[in-house]
Chain A
């Protein structure tokens, strides 16, 4: 019961955030200079043609009415037509977003899966060589730009060692339609295609690693600081005095209260990972939203830009909602305080 009210509150907040986002992105899209109709039609279009196009896009109407139209479309799940591809923005995003989302999700799992244990190791051997090693790695990972790391990994693991594929999501020879979620890893399991799953994983590894490094370093540093902080708490000393074995103190009594800061930051990182993914996708020829997103921004393809931002925003909110629920699960103080 207590969890339900906590959840409902978070969902309502999320809706509010999305309404705010829609306003901001709408205003920004209308304020930036340049006429979308003119840019879509090219320099040789006549003023009449431009006016017709503007009418078609609704750009001749008052701004509030334009916003109303935009919101009305959003509620129907219709993001309008792209000027660039002359197809519904929905279709364009549907084809590309799943690839980006899959990449970012795997990146988050990698960052957490390696960053948190590394942080634990560093905290446990604080000021000893494992700590120094982890901290050096964390700084190195955090300051290396992802595009550079992407190139490095591509050259090393791909061209030199021939360990992993360096481009795309699947080999060209492989036929597979990801028709349920668009996420290859999940859809291949649903349809029982283990070969596809394996290949998809192999293709994912390098781009995900390139994208994950910085966040992984940050997770390691956060976990380390948080664990050291918790290790000084009275309740850890009390657990020692009551004869709780050390491995249990570290993996349970210390880890769980230390887990909230890295988890929360992970959710916030989602947005910058989407941004970072654009660069990594370029290097690995990953068929994600990157190329599309960048082209639409350069072309001032309003509907598409707003669509890309809104979809990213919705997923940002969803990921953070999931993380809020996880945080509430990890730390009862959050959900109990939330109730009061």
Chain B
């Protein structure tokens, strides 16, 4: 089956202080339409670089895409002209940013920031709508991420909102132009666990209801289990294992995956470091 997003054999180098390091070694992964896929790995495993390469956010230099293709809807993104690439950003594929505290501009209102995103997304799509219609759409999306008072929220500055509310705003931003693919970079990691669980629940509901494809990038196996049906495990710039989520947890193949699963703290029983007795 042909996937909505297909990364083929992607290799990326980084050159810093005159030294070149290869950070991705032939990474391949598929995100079929409407599917919920997770990409899991520890810090420095290359998951963020993979995500940035897909979104076209890698700064070159210092990054250099050595080889590989990234197909979106059958087109190789790496061969597109800059403006064609830009046209997809925020419209065909959107990102949900990780840190709600730092991913919103502190000096503009939510309405201003979301309205501007929508305005330029519309322009790229060759549409136009009045400022009033844009605000209506902003309020509509804010309501969709289950904000009770969209008018008040949109008139607020980020500092006036709680972390959970800001994370919802970030999700709403990604949904503004109804993308087919949502790339979520560990959403809610910066929040407390209860709020994070709510955010993940919300994200999962939204993705399922709208039939979006979701690529969830995370280091948290709990999140993987909650939000995905298929998972890629990355380590040191390579995909070391890929499987149905249930299969992966039941029967991990690679040593790395086994150690990842063993590292998840348990409330009952022991870890591989011994038994915890309360």
Contacts and interface: CB of A to CB of B under 8 A. Distances in A.
Given A235-B102, A235-B103, A332-B106, A243 B159 contact: no
Nearest to A253: B105
Interface in B93-111: 94-95, 97, 99, 102-108
Contacts of B91: 243
B88 to A, nearest CB: 8
A241 B86 CA distance: 9
Contacts of A235: 102-106
Given A243-B117, A336-B159, A234 B106 contact: no
Nearest to B51: A241
Interface in A224-248: 233-235, 237-245, 248
17 contacts: A235-B102, A235-B104, A235-B106, A238-B173, A241-B89, A241-B90, A241-B97, A242-B90, A242-B121, A243-B117, A243-B124, A244-B117, A248-B116, A257-B105, A331-B106, A332-B106, A333-B106
A contact face: mostly helix, strand, loop, or mixed:
helix
Contact of A243 (B97, B107, B120): B120
A330 interface: yes
Contacts of B263: none
A234 B91 CA distance: 20
Contacts of A245: 120
B142 to A, nearest CB: 16
Contacts of A234: 97, 99, 102-103
Contacts of B173: 238, 242
Interface in B70-103: 86-87, 89-91, 94-95, 97, 99, 102-103
Contacts of A240: 57
Given A234-B103, A240-B57, A242-B90, A336 B157 contact: yes
Interface in B101-138: 102-108, 116-117, 120-121, 124
Contacts of A242: 89-90, 94-95, 117, 120-121, 173
B160 interface: yes
A193 interface: no
Contact of B116 (A244, A332, A336): A244
B55 interface: yes
A256 interface: yes
B57 to A, nearest CB: 6
Nearest to B109: A332
B107 A241 contact: no
B106 A243 contact: no
Given A234-B99, A235-B102, A257-B107, A243 B90 contact: yes
A243 B105 contact: no
A332 B159 contact: yes
Interface size class of B (residues with CB under 8 A): 20 to 34
A332 B157 contact: yes
B55 A256 contact: no
A239 B157 contact: no
Nearest to B102: A234
A256 B57 contact: no
A332 B121 contact: no
Q: Which of B86, B91, B94, B106 counts the most chain A CB atoms within 10 A?
A: B106
A332 B107 contact: yes
Contacts of B103: 234-235, 238
B106 A239 contact: no
Contacts of B57: 237, 240-241
A333 B107 contact: yes
B58 to A, nearest CB: 11
Contacts of A233: 102
Interface string A206-230: 0000000000000000000000000
B107 A330 contact: yes
A333 to B, nearest CB: 5
A261 B189 CA distance: 31
A82 B230 CA distance: 88
A243 B86 contact: yes
Contacts of A237: 57
Closest 6 A-B residue pairs measured CB to CB? A243-B90, A234-B102, A243-B89, A242-B90, A332-B157, A235-B105
B107 A331 contact: yes
Interface in A246-297: 248, 253, 256-257
A128 to B, nearest CB: 13
Contacts of A336: 157, 159-160
Candidate in A238, A244, A245, A333 with the most chain B CB atoms within 10 angstroms: A238
Contacts of B99: 234
B184 to A, nearest CB: 12
A241 B102 contact: no
Given A243-B89, A243-B120, A238 B107 contact: no
Contacts of B95: 238, 241-242
A235 B97 CA distance: 9
Nearest to B114: A242
Contact of A333 (B102, B121, B157): B157
Contacts of A330: 107
